[in-house]
């Protein structure tokens, strides 16, 4: 069994700019208890909350974190509320997708993993909130589906049938031939490798641009769309972080 890689030595100041912390901090504070998000802050989800009129949508990465919801729903009225419950996906794990997000992180996607039960969030969205979420997720990296093919058990609502899901369009990032899981996401039955975001970004930098300063590498991804697309293609060409040789330029 391949274990998580050792964390790289960080080569940036301890108090980095916000964009840098956002890249390395993904998936942020994915709390393990239900919450009620409001633009002014999150509170524990009341016992008498109701899913009526709301669409359940899987949040496999940062979409269950209050700080990410605050970014996505910035400017919404103060009375806006989004319930976020905690669930498990059966025979699936939360792994890294082989692409860079616009904010520098390597984001998450689901991957089939027999015997694994991975913890995810469920955002319960109104139609207007779902339309806003679509805007933040649009592009070439994810496709929204209304799936019944993934067994999801919500700890408040029980087994869910049809669930919205932003399915990854890119293959999982691999290490030693296995999809590399997010160590920040709790899971039982996980037998493959797992690592935190800062470790993975350091390893990817070492493969794609050996010797580059990590902050400079990530700044280019954040500020240069063409460079981000090119590096994402090279990341997919790697296939495996432990494979020998260099990816094509």
Q: Which stretches in the chain have pLDDT values below 50?
A: 1-16
Do residues 181 and 190 lie in contact, with contact meaning Cβ atoms separated by under 8 Å? yes
98 inside domain: yes
Does residue 224 lie within any of the structural domains?
Answer: yes
Flag whether 184 is in a domain: yes
Q: Tell whether 177 is covered by a domain.
A: yes
pLDDT of residue 64: 95
**Cα–Cα dist 37/43, whole Å:** 7
Rounded Cα distance between 198 and 205, Å, is: 11
User: Is there a contact between 69 and 136 (Cβ–Cβ < 8 Å)?
Assistant: no
- Give the pLDDT confidence score for residue 245 in this predicted structure: 63
Query: Mind listing the pLDDT tens digit for each residue in 88-121?
Result: 999 999 999 999 999 999 999 999 999 999 999 9
Structure tokens at 202: 């350091």
Cβ atoms 234, 247 nearer than 8 A? yes
The Cβ-side half-sphere exposure at 138, using a 13 Å CA radius, reads: 7
Among 3, 24, 10, which Cα is nearest to 195's? 3
Q: Is the dihedral of CA 83, 88, 90, 91 positive or negative?
A: positive
Q: Where are the alpha helices (DSSP H) in the chain?
A: 18-25, 66-72, 127-137, 197-208, 214-223, 225-238
CATH of the domain at 73: 3.10.490.10
Residue 225 is classified by DSSP as: H
pLDDT value for 148 = 86
Residue 228 lies in a domain: yes
Tally of domains in the chain: 1
pTM value is: 0.90
Determine, yes or no, domain membership for 7.
no
The tens digit of pLDDT for each residue in 57-97 reads 999 999 999 999 999 999 999 999 999 999 999 999 999 99
pLDDT at 31 (0 to 100): 83
Query: Which residue's entry shows tokens 């139609």?
Result: 127
Could you list the residue range(s) of the whole structural domain that residue 168 is in?
A: 23-238
């Amino acid at each position: 069994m391949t274990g998580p890689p050792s964390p790289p030595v960080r080569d940036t100041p301890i108090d980095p700019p916000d964009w840098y912390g956002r890249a390395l901090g993904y998936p942020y504070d994915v709390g393990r208890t239900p919450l009620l998000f409001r633009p002014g802050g999150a509170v524990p989800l009341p016992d008498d909350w109701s899913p009526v009129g709301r669409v359940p949508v899987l949040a496999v990465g940062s979409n269950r974190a209050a700080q990410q919801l605050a970014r996505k729903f910035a400017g919404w009225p103060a009375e806006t509320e989004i319930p976020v419950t905690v669930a498990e996906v059966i025979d699936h794990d939360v792994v890294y997708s082989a692409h860079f997000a616009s904010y520098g992180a390597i984001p998450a996607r689901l991957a089939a993993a027999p015997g694994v039960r991975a913890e995810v969030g469920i955002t319960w969205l109104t139609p207007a909130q779902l339309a806003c979420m679509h805007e933040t997720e649009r592009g070439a990296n994810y496709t929204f589906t209304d799936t019944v093919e993934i067994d999801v058990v919500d700890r408040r609502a029980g087994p869910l049938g049809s669930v919205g899901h932003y399915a990854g369009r890119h293959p999982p990032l691999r290490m030693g031939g296995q999809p590399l899981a997010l160590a920040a996401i709790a899971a039982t039955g996980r037998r493959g490798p797992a690592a935190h975001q800062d470790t993975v970004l350091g390893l990817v930098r070492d493969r794609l641009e050996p010797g580059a300063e990590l902050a400079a590498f990530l700044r280019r991804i954040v500020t240069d769309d063409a460079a981000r697309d090119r590096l994402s293609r090279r990341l997919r060409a790697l296939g495996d972080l432990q494979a020998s040789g260099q990816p094509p330029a």
